[in-house]
Amino acid sequence: ATPTALLVGTGRGAQLGVLITGPEVLESTRRVDTIVLDKTGTVTSGRMSLAGVHPADGVGEAELLRLAGALEHASEHPVAAAIAAGAAERVGPLPTPSSFENRPGLGVHGVVDDRLLLVGRPALLGEWAIRPDAGVAASVAEAEAAGRTAVVVAWDGVVRGALSVADAVKPTSADAVARLRRLGLEPVLLTGDNATVARQVAAEVGIDRVVAEVLPADKAGVVAGLQGEGRTVAMVGDGVNDAAALAQADLGVAMGTGSDVAIEAADLTLVRGDLLAAVDAVRLSRRTLRVIR
Ligand code: ADP
Ligand code: MG
């Protein structure tokens, strides 16, 4: 192989908004046959907004928003940012939690106004032995059927309501998925979000294979599983919770708009956070290596 051709490929990549950690990355890019796409922030914008407030009987909307917003203000998760911003907008200044703990891929808990508060996936309730609420469960199901991500809110051992947030598919995602398919890559959607929302996003962009409700610690295992099927896997992600999967993949691809942790774990970065640049990277690697051979 002539290093010159590889370096030309590297330079052309930079022009296309694709940064690679070294010329050898083009070789792994060329071999990839499966591309795992994180949902939030990769296929979707990740800029979520508060879409629905669903209090349980006897709970006020403002109280639900004020307490949940206060706790989520301490978290950096896109779901949390949407809830904190929506709450601040609707109810004004929020109290400061006196304690806070983040549970990656699950939610948050802490103390706000002397109440022990939980906000997160319904699975968190079971862990705290909090009984579900039929009305709130119905609101969650309705929000998910509409393609939104819903989280439950509980304090002092009782479910107090649910909040739902909306995210939008990036304008170029469907086109990028179609082009990746034409290049012979099978797309797989991977997310910690619930299966109903995940399937809706997958349908919107043309992905058939969906792996949902995966905890951050298990994302790398999903990539390893695909490799175990004999596949050569690219993983595209933007979050801290994608870093291990990016490292596990044959080719780790980070969104340049994502977290530094993801970018550091990746072999290749899509500077503008646009999946069409991944298409360019694959085409470039094939062209460059054809020149060399
Ligand atoms: P993704 O794989 O889509 O990036 P995560 O694994 O980070 O998602 O989160 C999965 C799910 O966990 C979210 O959809 C949400 O239901 C829940 N969750 C995570 N963090 C929070 C939080 N701070 N507040 C509420 N829910 C959360
Ligand atoms: Mg993400």
Closest ligand by atom to 68 CA: 1
Distance (angstroms) between ligand 1 centre and the Cα of 81 equals 11
Indicate whether 157 and 74 sit together in one domain.
yes
Indicate whether 196 and 85 sit together in one domain.
no
Indicate whether 208 and 284 sit together in one domain.
yes
State both tokens at 17: 């908004």
What type of residue sits at position 292? I
Tell me what ipTM this predicted complex has: 0.94
Indicate whether 173 and 287 sit together in one domain.
yes
Indicate whether 131 and 276 sit together in one domain.
no
What type of residue sits at position 18? V
How many helices (H) and strands (E) would you count in the chain?
12, 13
Q: Is 79 in the pocket of ligand 1 (CB under 6 A)?
A: yes
Question: Which of 124, 151, 242, when mutated, tests ligand 1's pocket best, judged by the most ligand atoms within 8 Å of its CB?
Answer: 151
Q: Is 82 in the pocket of ligand 1 (CB under 6 A)?
A: no
What's the whole-model pTM score?
A: 0.90
As for how many domains the chain has, the answer is 2
Distance (angstroms) between ligand 2 centre and the Cα of 286 equals 28
Task: Report the atom number in ligand 1 closest to the C-alpha of 119.
Answer: 25
Quick one: CA dihedral 155, 158, 160, 164, positive or negative? positive
CATH number of the domain enclosing 270:
3.40.50.1000
| Separation CA 118–CA 163 (nearest Å) | 12
Q: Which pLDDT score, from 0 to 100, does residue 291 have? A: 61
Q: Which pLDDT score, from 0 to 100, does residue 23 have? A: 82
Q: Is 30 in the pocket of ligand 1 (CB under 6 A)?
A: no
What type of residue sits at position 100? F
Q: Which pLDDT score, from 0 to 100, does residue 1 have? A: 44
The residues annotated with a catalytic role in the active site are 38
Q: Are 190 and 201 in contact (CB under 8 A)?
A: no
Q: Is 191 in the pocket of ligand 1 (CB under 6 A)?
A: yes
Domain boundary among 166, 184, 216: 166
Indicate whether 54 and 111 sit together in one domain.
yes
Q: Are 36 and 235 in contact (CB under 8 A)?
A: yes
Largest CA distance in the chain: 72
| DSSP code per residue over 133-144 | -HHHHHHHHHHH
Distance (angstroms) between ligand 1 centre and the Cα of 80 equals 8
Indicate whether 19 and 102 sit together in one domain.
no
Q: Is 23 in the pocket of ligand 1 (CB under 6 A)?
A: no
Q: What is the pLDDT along the chain (293 residues), one digit of tens a residue?
A: 445 555 556 677 777 789 988 888 988 999 999 999 999 999 999 999 999 999 999 999 999 999 999 999 999 899 999 999 999 999 999 999 999 999 999 999 999 999 999 999 998 999 999 999 999 999 999 999 999 999 999 999 999 999 999 999 999 999 999 999 999 999 999 999 999 999 999 999 999 999 999 999 999 999 999 999 999 999 999 999 999 999 999 999 999 999 999 999 999 999 999 999 999 999 988 887 666 55
Indicate whether 58 and 148 sit together in one domain.
yes
Q: Which pLDDT score, from 0 to 100, does residue 16 have? A: 78
Closest ligand by atom to 194 CA: 1
CB atoms within 10 A of CB 69: 26
Domain enclosing residue 270, as ranges: 3-45+169-292
| Separation CA 140–CA 163 (nearest Å) | 8
Q: Is 216 in the pocket of ligand 1 (CB under 6 A)?
A: yes
